Amino acid sequence: MNAPPSTLGAHVAGRRAGLRFDADNGVATEALLFLGDLDPDAIGPNIAHATHYEPTPVGELDALLAHVPFPFEGAAFVDLGAGMGRALLAAASYPFRRIVGVEISPALAAIARDNLEIFERRAARPPRCRDLRIVCEDAAAYRFPRGDLVVYLYNPFDATLVARVAANLARVPRKRLAVIYHTPVERHVFDANPAFAIVGEETFGVAYASASRRRALEVP
């Protein structure tokens, strides 16, 4: 089936913006890859729950971050399913304490590390966060940093793993927690979990904060 002209135009414009982002920063993040074509044996059984790699469209992370109801200073930003690292590079323009990409594929994690090294030397704008790192690990088993936290997902895996991540996040009390979910195919997991409350939405994603934080903001 042919894509409607408006959809096709948006796709082409998004790809051009992604290629410009890569060229400006000397990195390679614009690609569409399936993990089963890369290193399935290295990934293990959870490859059955993973989706594909596709970079966050330029500018859309900014729109979702605008809904986070607390300052970024002192907070960690964690991208689950970081792929080649574009979201990490985009997040570096904010004053996060630390930025971490969690990627289960060793092949993608290696590319992301190369991109981070190049970005630190050639970024179009000097990053405001200087602590950027990639962790090659299963997101369902990842232990999140202490303190204030912003977690990003770009439809990285199915509901089975989304539920494990949500449970892990809800298990540890935090003063400030936000989850921003792009292309939220499995958003019903967060919507049904009483530990999370919606704080903002875009056509392409939704932002959550811890429910206790949301209640505190609503107290007059």
**Domain limits of the chain?**
5-218
**pLDDT band (50, 70, 90) for residue 219:** very low
DSSP β-ladder status, 132-136 and 196-202: unpaired
pTM for this prediction = 0.88
Task: Supply φ then ψ for residue 128, to 5 degrees.
Answer: -85, -20
CA atoms 175, 87, 203, 160: torsion sign: negative
Could you give the 3-state DSSP secondary structure of residue 134?
strand
- In tens, the pLDDT along 164-192 reads 999 999 998 899 999 999 999 999 999 99
**Across the chain, what does the average pLDDT equal?**
89
Could you please state the CATH topology (level 3) that the domain comprising 5-218 is classified under: Rossmann fold (3.40.50)
pLDDT value at position 7? 54
CB-CB contact of 167 with 196 (8 Å): no
26-82 pLDDT, tens digit per residue, is: 999 999 887 777 777 777 777 777 888 899 999 999 999 999 999 999 999 999 999
